[in-house]
Structure 1
Amino acid sequence: MARPKTMRHLGGDRRGVAMLEFALSLPIVLAIGLYGIEISNLALANMKVSQIALALADNASRVGVDNGLAQQQLREFDINDVLQATRLQSNDLKLTTNGRITVSSLEESGGVQRIHWQRCLGLQKGADYDSSYGRTTIKGTTPSTADDTGAAYDPTAGTNTKTDGTDDSASHPGSVIKGGMGDPDSKVFAPKDSGVMFVEVNYKYVPVTGTWLLGNQRLHSVASFIVRDRRTFALVSNPSPAAKRSTCDLYTS
């Protein structure tokens, strides 16, 4: 049994108090620090996704080749080129593995707004990753809207599927979009007899510390640019040697 003098000595001993306080507060300090790191990384990833969407829409609005008639002809090769640039730009995010990119050509003709063609890149699929604002549908089916799930998707929209020298692109006109593309408070419309490159990016955020702090986060960004130069909107050409079309029925990285 400890003597009274020893007990009084232990009662007045303050050595190790700082270490004990640090041990008790460490979980709280660590959690706050990790939360700050995660929030900062999320904000940075969101900014990158936004910039990637803007760069892709800008690039897609510029590409094309002179067809000899003072017009720019858009080719499948050009579309694949700008998608490849996006793939390289987003390599640190692994965007094409953890997300989905949709490029839509919103065009106006005769007072009608239409998604003439779409191209996609990315492995993720489902309502959270496929386009939220419409899709190209087979001619004669219900006009496409943001909540349209009944009309069949047409991967050949805006293209010529004939190989005998004839052109059947008119039979793949894409989808009429009533009210433009985009969220209700920020609809985008193509100018008269022109077009807009509308880009949608959906990304499954990869957290630094796991999902226990923020849960599963999906980043979403859209961007649009009016087409530069005098692009011909008749169809997307695919001269020999033909390039593989990055249609939205494919899920590739």
Structure 2
Amino acid sequence: MPVTASPLLAPATAFGRVRALCTRFAHDTGATSAVELGLALPFLMGLALTGVEVVSLALIHVKLNQLAITVADNASRAKQTQVNGAPQFREYDVNQVFRAAALQAEDLDIPNNGRVILSSLQVNSSNGQWIAWQRCWGKNTWASRYGVQGTGATGTAFKGMGYTSTKMTADTGTAIMFVEIAYNYKPFFLGSILPAKLIRKEAALYVRDDRDLTQIYNPSPTQTVASC
């Protein structure tokens, strides 16, 4: 008669096979690198994204610095020569300065993410400092740190512009084109960890040549005033 295995031996046999399989896995080092990579990958991804974020923030600071300098430089040069009288600065010139800024910082989307404030710092009749006029570009409502148009029109209480203890002041007969940029920085990858922050940059340059400082002119065809 044929001999059959006892059913009581089946669990022991199955256990032995599982034990042997586990022993093989324990001694198998073929996938060690893959396991280590899998464990380290989240950390490496986080480190890489953090590096990209830091580089992006640094580049934005550089771009905003350059933008502020360019706006101040263009505003200090723009003018319309007059046959009789000093060259005039017009609303058209203001708008051209802002159009150039839009082309330079197209990737920053300043109209939606920031605001550019251009002020003319001059000397008032009391030999004090004042903001003779101010123009803005950008949909945001951030205001100048130093005041609105007309600040310091009389007296000498207004000490000038600039975030340092030593304020920037204009000389008699000329003006300083003072630029402030406020930009709402939002992290690309780590928005849930790092909060958005407001970045501010400033630049200033003297008007390069003679200019009629009494007002901003708006001859026909008139231009839209970039008021603040």
TM-score (ref. length: structure 2): 0.86
Residues 1:199 and 2:179 are matched in the alignment:
yes
Correspondence 1:157-172 to 2 at 5 A: none
Change in Cα spacing, 1:177 to 1:246, as seen in structure 2 (3 Å) is farther
Residues 1:117 and 2:133 are matched in the alignment:
yes
Read off the aligned partner of 2:137 and give its amino acid letter.
Answer: L
**Unmatched segments (≥5 aa) in structure 2:** 1-14
Distance 1:243 1:174 in 2: 29
Residues 1:76 and 2:91 are matched in the alignment:
yes
Q: Is the 8 A contact 2:114 2:139 kept in 1?
A: yes
Tell me how large the CA RMSD over aligned residues is. Answer: 2.0
- Whichever structure has more helix as a proportion of its residues is 2
Read off the aligned partner of 2:164 and give its amino acid letter.
Answer: P
Cα displacement (A) at 1:76: 0.8
Structure 2 partner of 1:180: 160
Q: Deviations over 1:157-211 (max 9, x none)?
A: xxxxxxxxxxxxxxxx699761111113352111222110000000112432141
Read off the aligned partner of 1:95 and give its amino acid letter.
Answer: I
Correspondence 1:1-253 to 2 at 5 A: 1-3=15-17, 5-69=20-84, 71-110=86-125, 111-125=127-141, 129-137=142-150, 178-248=158-228
Change in Cα spacing, 1:216 to 1:64, as seen in structure 2 (3 Å) is same
TM-score (ref. length: structure 1): 0.78
Cα displacement (A) at 1:212: 2.7
Distance 1:107 1:204 in 2: 30
Read off the aligned partner of 1:118 and give its amino acid letter.
Answer: Q
**Unmatched segments (≥5 aa) in structure 1:** 138-142, 145-172, 249-253
Read off the aligned partner of 1:41 and give its amino acid letter.
Answer: S
Q: Is the 8 A contact 2:128 2:154 kept in 1?
A: no
Q: Is the 8 A contact 1:71 1:229 kept in 2?
A: no
Return the structure number with greater relative CO, CA threshold 8 A, min gap 6. Answer: 1
Distance 1:8 1:243 in 2: 84
| Identity among equivalent pairs (%) | 33
Q: Larger Rg: 1 or 2?
A: 2
Q: Deviations over 1:62-111 (max 9, x none)?
A: 11111223521111111111111111211111012100110000001441
Structure 2 partner of 1:158: none
